[in-house]
Amino acid sequence: MNQELIDLAVERGRLIERISSQRQRLGQELQPIGEALQGADRVLASVRKGCGYVQEHPEVVAVGVALLIVVQPRRVWRWSKRGFVAWRTWRMVRSQIADLGLLTPRR
């Protein structure tokens, strides 16, 4: 019986060592993904900060849009149509993803 406990302790030690090496290897293999996600987090933080600025200062956006309309209305109209199509497409895709249960619906 005492030998069984020793064998179990030895096996436990081996398993703990194997788990430790697997964790270390996994950390090394996932490092590039972590770096990419940090970059994505920085971009997302910048976008949120920009959205916050726009919400706090809508007059700046209005002046910018008015200036664009005065300067080149044709180009503004073309990009407005593209933006509208992109927005509608995003809403449709988001709705489909929500229907699959991968995202909570937001309306």
Q: Which domain holds residue 32?
A: 2-56
* Structural domain contains residue 106: no
Judge contact between 106 and 94, C-beta under 8 A: yes
In this predicted structure, what is the pLDDT of residue 24? 94
- Mean pLDDT across the chain: 87
Amino acid at 62: A
* Structural domain contains residue 93: no
Task: Tell me the whole-structure pTM to 2 decimals.
Answer: 0.42
Amino acid at 63: V
- The average pLDDT across 16-29 equals 94
Each residue's pLDDT tens digit, 46-76? 999 988 988 999 998 898 888 877 888 788 7
CA gap 13, 5 in Å, rounded? 12
In this predicted structure, what is the pLDDT of residue 14? 96
When divided into structural domains, the chain yields a total of: 1
CA distances from 40 to 5, 35, 87, 103 (A): 50, 9, 21, 19
* Structural domain contains residue 66: no
In this predicted structure, what is the pLDDT of residue 45? 92
* Structural domain contains residue 77: no
Better-predicted residue by pLDDT, 100 or 11: 11
